[in-house]
Amino acid sequence: MTQVVEQVECIYQEVVRRNPGEHEFHQAVKEVLESLVPVLTRHPHYAEHRIIERICEPERQVIFRVPWQDDTGRVQINRGFRVQFNSALGPYKGGLRFHPSVYLGIVKFLGFEQIFKNAVTGMPIGGGKGGSDFDPKGRSDGEIMRFCQSFMTELHRHLGEYTDVPAGDIGVGAREIGFLFGQYKRLTNRYESAVLTGKGPSWGGALVRREATGYGVAFFIDEMLRARGQSFEGKTCVVSGSGNVAVYAVEKIHELGGKVVACSDSDGFVHHPAGIELETLKRLKEVERRRIRDYVEIHPDAVYRHGGRIWDVPCDVAVPCATQNELDGDAARRLVSNGCLAVGEGANMPTTPEGIKVFQEAGIAYGPGKAANAGGVSTSALEMQQNASRDAWTFEYTERKLREIMKEIHRACHETAEEYGRPGDYVLGANIVGFTRVAEPMVAFGLI
């Protein structure tokens, strides 16, 4: 065991040395590697095949210039990325993020997590991620379209339904996927539906894809609560963010009997003790693309805290759905001392390593993004299935499938944690399930 611990530490140090300055990537690798010590002890052949070292090195990374013209006629230059991390289980699959914070380290942390998340879903999809440092905030539809067209003009040569299938992430929704798909179709002269997911339902998109990540996280938390003999009924919940994931997490939590009392954006948060009014939230964020502070104009009994920390609002269930490292050790301690009993991550890596430690030591149910937010990419895989069979399923049927998938993800992570002597440790469970599912075909394929 100590030898394996040392071996894993060496691999981690080498990752840090080879990928300088990519802190988020280091953080994501460290968390996974720590979970793998018992697997490597039990299955020494993974070390012989150097599976971990191979998984930590992306199969391919593309970085490109994205020139475009804004509405004033000025030329703008952004940087585009696609990291094709691992294709042992299927074509690279993972979203595109358009946000000014995007650099290679962010894309690599997301791509690395995606390998394990996608494996945990049990669907035949590899892991990848992409994006750009383009900031869509305040841009017109015309600017968004020109940017997407330029982005795809370079990216299209690296994609394909059997090669790499992007979708959305922060800053990329159905509007952007539409512009990207239109340009791909024009450049290739192929109506290759399954080259992108998150499409509009009128042109090959799966019903429920928009709702899937948010619904999925609610279903996953529901499973964690059930495993402890509890339910959402009567629980006070706090959901950070107010994007696609947050909005549909709120919707499903309300349907399952919980009450969401706070949500946020990057400026501040709204606390509405009577319960967040979903229709207002949807109208503000989806239709009018406004800020969360405007919520209190419509609901004067709610309060808006500019720059405040949403995790100070007392709750039974916390659902971080905004972005990476939004919940640190301090915030975690506050949640625990306020009596929080479950945390389900709708965002990718929203809890810092210190925050995770706090949750685990307190013994609360903590569902990491890799498992808890896998409903989005699972439904993307369902979209690919429908495209391949030129079929379109109903909302109810697709949602039932999503619910089953989340239940199965929970079962696999829960049982694996028990099998490895760490009951209730979903981090360990998800990492081990994901890793072994990727490692097996990698061994079978030989050294490629």
Site residues (vs ligand GLU, CB under 6 A): 93-95, 167, 169, 197, 348, 376-377, 380
Tokens linked to 89: 């289980």
Instruction: Catalytic residue, from 129, 185, 259, 285: name it.
Output: 129
> Rounded to the nearest whole angstrom, what is the least distance from the CB of residue 197 to ligand GLU in the complex?
5
- Which residues touch 6 (CB under 8 Å, ≥6 apart)? none
Smaller CB separation from ligand GLU, 58 or 95: 95
- Which residues touch 71 (CB under 8 Å, ≥6 apart)? 140, 142, 143
> Rounded to the nearest whole angstrom, what is the least distance from the CB of residue 298 to ligand GLU in the complex?
30
The angle that helices 375-388 and 209-227 make with each other, rounded to 10 degrees, is 130
> Rounded to the nearest whole angstrom, what is the least distance from the CB of residue 100 to ligand GLU in the complex?
18
Smaller CB separation from ligand GLU, 94 or 105: 94
Integer distance in angstroms from the first to the last C-alpha of the chain? 29
Residue nearest to ligand GLU (CB): 95
> Rounded to the nearest whole angstrom, what is the least distance from the CB of residue 13 to ligand GLU in the complex?
28
3-state secondary structure of 442: helix
Whole-number Å distance between alpha carbons of 303 and 308: 11
Q: Which residue has the tokens 């948010």?
A: 214
> Rounded to the nearest whole angstrom, what is the least distance from the CB of residue 17 to ligand GLU in the complex?
28
Whole-number Å distance between alpha carbons of 143 and 80: 16
- Which residues touch 50 (CB under 8 Å, ≥6 apart)? none
Judge whether 341 and 317 are in contact, CB under 8 Å. yes
User: Which element (helix H / strand E) includes 67?
Assistant: strand 60-69
286 DSSP assignment: I
- DSSP β-bridge partners for residue 84: 60, 128
Backbone angles phi, psi at 230, to 5 degrees: -125, 180
Would residue 129 show up in a list of annotated catalytic residues for this protein?
Answer: yes
3-state secondary structure of 185: helix
Smaller CB separation from ligand GLU, 130 or 295: 130
Smaller CB separation from ligand GLU, 94 or 350: 94
> Rounded to the nearest whole angstrom, what is the least distance from the CB of residue 304 to ligand GLU in the complex?
28
Q: Which residue has the tokens 């207002």?
A: 280
- Give ∠ CA 171-173-179 in degrees, rounded to 5: 105
Question: Helix, strand, coil shares of the chain as percentages rounded to 5?
Answer: 50, 15, 30
Phi-psi category of residue 9: left, alpha or beta, with phi > 0 → left and psi -120 to 50 → alpha: alpha
> Rounded to the nearest whole angstrom, what is the least distance from the CB of residue 212 to ligand GLU in the complex?
8
3-state secondary structure of 330: helix
Smaller CB separation from ligand GLU, 349 or 364: 349
Q: Calculate Rg over the CA atoms of the chain.
A: 21
> Rounded to the nearest whole angstrom, what is the least distance from the CB of residue 348 to ligand GLU in the complex?
5
Active site residues: 129
